[in-house]
Amino acid sequence: MTLISWIIRILLIAFVVRLVLRALFPPRPAARAPRKPLERAGGALVQDPHCGTYVPKSRALVSGTGEHAKFFCSTECRDRYLSGHARRHAS
């Protein structure tokens, strides 16, 4: 046989072996990278006045403006703080 026919046979056998191995041991799915970073390093943190949690300023809920702005970690903390604050000023 010629050299070319041997090369073709070896390549064909390697291809069949690869197909059999893939059928027996399928490749594992690659770990998915997060879609976007949660927060960039170096961002400013603000403290929730109700629970004391520090939150990145870019993700905090804001109530008020200017110097009187309050930053909250969640709507629940914001609502509890504002309802307590309103009760204190009402009495």
- Say what percent of the chain tops pLDDT 70: 81
Band of pLDDT at residue 88, cut at 50, 70 and 90: low
d(Cα 83, Cα 88) in Å, to the nearest integer?
9
d(Cα 35, Cα 74) in Å, to the nearest integer?
23
Report which of residues 85 and 39 the model is more confident about: 85
Task: For tokens 């070896």, name the residue.
Answer: 10
Return the ∠ at Cα 89 (arms to 88 and 90), rounded to 5°: 95
pLDDT higher than threshold 90 for residue 35: no
d(Cα 49, Cα 44) in Å, to the nearest integer?
16
Per-residue model confidence (pLDDT) at position 20: 93
Per-residue model confidence (pLDDT) at position 30: 75
What is the DSSP secondary structure assignment for residue 31, as one 8-state letter? Answer: P
Per-residue model confidence (pLDDT) at position 40: 60
pLDDT higher than threshold 70 for residue 76: yes
